[in-house]
Amino acid sequence: MQKVNKTIFFLLVFTVLFIFIMSINYIYHLYWSGDQARCGIEALKIFRTKTLTLIGPEISATFQGRFIFQGPITYYFYLLFLLFGRWDPVVSSYLFMIFCSLMIFPLFFGTKKLVNEKVAWFMVIIYTLVPYYINYTRFLWNSTFLFSLVPILIYLMGQYTEKKSPLLFFLISFWLGLLLQFHYQFILVILGIFLYYFLYKKLKIVYLPLFIFGIAFGLSPLILFELRHGFYNLKTMILFMQNWDKVAKPGGIATPHYYISSSFMAILALSGLLKKFIDRVSYKYFFVGIIFFIVYSFFIYVPKPEHAFWAYTSPWNYLAEKKIYDTIKQTGLKKNFNIANLAYYDTLSTVVKYFMKRDGYNIAYDDYYNNKYLFVISEKNKYLSHPAYEISTFKPFKILNQWKINNSYNMLLLKREKK
């Protein structure tokens, strides 16, 4: 009993440490950009229309106007945290971060049963203190949602190691299918777990149908979508493979967030293989590692960042987006206007439009040809030569007002003039 209390105490220490490190300059690190806003808008739509969807956001690759869609669970996770956060991106993202901190418990107890206690503490240290994983448990996104649920997968695997229950094995395979909805690269982890159980653990072949059915059940919304729409995703995947050299692949394969979950599972697998070596490592070296990562984290996170994590523009962060929206509200305009953000890739200013849709602005959000007014966010006067159609078609115009957003960017209010 005393050992259990001691374990819970140290897990709580790691949980508090996790939250503390994450909270340093939180709002300045927070990433809430066009992709997050689009998913937030979809979640808001699901909530207001009470209409479920079978697909989620598309992957970034595209060919001939076709996309491959991921599962709808991404939208439902957005809905969950946005709803509890009262549709405030900061509060919702912070709640998600707290949720991630609580995953330390299933991670520890699952790894302890799956491998051993010392490896469990090692994995907790990795999860809590390595900057790569810290950075990707601070904001809402499909790959971060996926990573936050990996500890539950590990817990289920640990429980199955102890109890050998077919129901638990089904839950593992179901969870794998559910996680695959978030990101298709998780198929690598599924393949690894398949090899682990059926090749390394030599599980009986009668478990194979259970494994396949569980994954299919976890993927059931996408499977139902395929059946209803003539296997659109499958046909698109085949089309991509046939024309791989011509497929547009923004970000390529070198995007770090693709590998959060697979790298973490790879570390777990490697730790399992090296468990005898890790068992011989004294806990004092674990303590030295903890101190090193804490000090390193302070060097990284205490200085106020110039821009949000993963932002493409410096200086740019959530506070700039919020200032834009608050300024637009203060103008009193309620209709016949639109917004063009030339500060970074999302010229449609989706973040501000999320705020507007949340608060009930009734404008033609996608119409940049008939709006009488246009708010433009630009670096000095560079908007005059910017190729974006949102501004290039808004001519002739006159400037009605101008506001400073930060040291690099201003917002202008333009009024369309008759030719």
Quick check: is 384 in a domain? yes
Q: Which residues contact 127 (CB under 8 A, 6 or more apart)?
A: 103, 104, 107, 133, 151, 264
| Together in a domain, 230 and 90 | yes
pLDDT at 312: 64
One-letter identity of residue 151: P
Same domain, 256 and 212: yes
Over residues 395-411, the pLDDT tens digits come to 899 999 999 999 889 99
Is residue 266 located within the same domain as residue 347? no
Same domain, 147 and 181: yes
Domain co-membership, 174 together with 285: yes
- Predicted structure pTM score: 0.94
C-beta atoms surrounding 399 within 10 Å: 10
Residue 156 counted as domain residue: yes
- In a domain, residue 309? The reply is no
Residues 283 and 341 in one domain: no
Per the CB < 8 A criterion, the answer to whether 255 and 143 are in contact is no
Indicate whether 297 and 322 sit together in one domain. Answer: no
The reply to whether 268 and 324 lie within a common domain is: no
Q: Based on the fold, state whether residues 186 and 51 are members of the same structural domain.
A: yes
Residue pLDDT, tens place only, 297-315: 999 999 999 888 877 666 8
Quick check: bond before 315 cis, omega within 30?
yes
Mean pLDDT, all residues of the chain: 93
Domain assignment present for residue 134? The answer is yes
Nearest C-alpha neighbor of 144 from the set 100, 109, 184, 181:
100
Q: Tell me: the pLDDT tens digits for 27-60?
A: 999 999 889 999 999 999 999 999 999 999 998 8
What's the rounded Cα separation, in Å, for the pair 171 and 193? 13
Give me the domain span that covers residue 375: 318-416
Q: How many domains does the chain have?
A: 2
> Is 311 contained in some domain?
no
- Is there a single domain that holds both residue 61 and residue 203? yes
Residues 56 and 108 in one domain: yes
Q: Are residues 167 and 234 in the same domain?
A: yes
Blockwise average pLDDT, block size 10, the chain, 419 residues: 83 97 95 93 96 92 89 97 97 97 98 97 97 92 96 98 95 98 94 96 94 97 96 93 82 70 96 93 93 94 88 81 96 94 89 96 93 92 83 91 92 91
